[in-house]
Chain A
């Protein structure tokens, strides 16, 4: 299914105040792929996502979804196929209840009320928050808000999902839940974030941005472990890929050398 493909070709963008946020960004995500987009603060991740969604218009270059080029004319069509989850769910949940919020997109698409309700039910059940349907967004926990924001995008049946820092500000359990959810999707996914362990777990491939340019594009297990590259891009090798300071083993989180009860063998990978 080629329409699940997303392509950025030589994208350039400068903000109205003259600040050049993106210089030349090209990459491609194919059907069902999950691609991480990482980079230091201000590297241009959010700007890139806004260009992909047609919220900003590139100074040069093109965005292609499937075989369709993103232009003003194709914009409404493309937005039906690409869904974006914002970094702050409060920006996205603008309707008075979770159910109403999920219904906003389908209603705009002109579906009949019964179809709208069907989509809403399906989307809320998919993320496991059907019981929150009539709740007001301001009464939800952070994790529930993230789930609701994802549901409101799912209700539009997109082929491609774009998520800006989906685990920011979540506690470990909520983070796990959101990650499990994202892992279970079969959509083509683009995920940005500073939570590199999350990126590593979800995305087999990463694109690293540095000062508005693609610094590297490849398998996450190699790129994220390349401390020189990471350093140069203002990032750090995620904990799970750092060699243990005590025993040098890579691939587990915590060294148990100091724990007497573990007995002879120092570090046990988990």
Chain B
């Protein structure tokens, strides 16, 4: 997590993207969620050297972005933050698997393919998750999860966490600013202030939770969570889900790039 404000800003940008009204946005949240799950299963079921065969899966994020008017920049930026962990683990693969493999006239250690495969899978899966929220929004996604059986308590709890994240992040930001103004040149929080700085934030959070609980009680909350009734998926949902599922299955079971390549090179 970088700094407070940029993380919150990123989140708000996602929320803003989720407010536009394209056909993809209008799809039922459950449809989109299930489609993404199918996508993930297809992508992750490829074995560890799979590399070229993952490429046709990119049609999904590309087409989703095009249909839902999603920009690329914020997603690629997020990807940059996440990729290092997988790259860190993946980069060791060429060391451990040095079996040479012919590659376009050269020879490369097979570990490189494992590495490339990890890299592609990370790109695909992270894009899919981020795009899901960017064309659905937290609130609608939660409604969808609720329809799929997520208990009400959890729905309320997640939505509260989501709601107060911004408020508390701003509070944390103010605390940090106040600290750094009086401790110029320090990069982090020094040991003697560890407890009090985060502890203050925590105590305030407790008080806030109490006030929120009061506000909820005053409007009739008694432990039972009222939620809006769900809507039903329609024809477009069926098309989206089954269309993509077919594509994922095709990509999974048929080596499309190889066929296409043979077609082009006549090889």
Verify if A95 is at the interface (C-beta below 8 Å from B).
yes
With A97-B139, A108-B226, A113-B228: A91-B166 Cβ-Cβ less than 8 Å: no
Interface range on chain A: under 10, 10 to 19, 20 to 34, or 35 or more? 20 to 34
Classify the interface of chain B: helix, strand, loop or mixed.
helix
Verify if B138 is at the interface (C-beta below 8 Å from A).
yes
With A55-B214, A113-B229, A139-B12: A100-B139 Cβ-Cβ less than 8 Å: yes
How many residues on chain B are close to A (CB under 8 Å)? 30
Contact B138 A96 (CB under 8 A): yes
Verify if A156 is at the interface (C-beta below 8 Å from B).
yes
A34-42, A77-85, A242-250: which lies at the interface: A77-85
Contact B208 A91 (CB under 8 A): yes
- On chain A, the residues within 8 Å of B163 by CB distance are 93-96, 136-138
Verify if B167 is at the interface (C-beta below 8 Å from A).
yes
- On chain B, the residues within 8 Å of A80 by CB distance are 220
Contact B217 A55 (CB under 8 A): yes
Contact B221 A108 (CB under 8 A): yes
Verify if A252 is at the interface (C-beta below 8 Å from B).
no
- On chain B, the residues within 8 Å of A88 by CB distance are 211
With A84-B218, A100-B228: A94-B15 Cβ-Cβ less than 8 Å: no
Verify if A50 is at the interface (C-beta below 8 Å from B).
yes
Contact B15 A136 (CB under 8 A): yes
Verify if B41 is at the interface (C-beta below 8 Å from A).
no
Verify if A228 is at the interface (C-beta below 8 Å from B).
no
- On chain A, the residues within 8 Å of B226 by CB distance are 103-104, 107-108
Verify if B5 is at the interface (C-beta below 8 Å from A).
no
- On chain A, the residues within 8 Å of B167 by CB distance are 90, 138
Verify if A86 is at the interface (C-beta below 8 Å from B).
yes
Residues of B with Cβ closer than 8 Å to A?
A: 12, 15, 19, 138-139, 142, 159-160, 162-164, 166-167, 208, 211-212, 214-222, 224, 226-229
Between-chain CB contacts (< 8 Å), 18 pairs: A55-B218, A76-B220, A76-B222, A86-B211, A88-B211, A91-B215, A94-B216, A95-B163, A96-B163, A97-B139, A100-B228, A104-B216, A104-B226, A108-B222, A109-B220, A113-B229, A136-B139, A137-B163
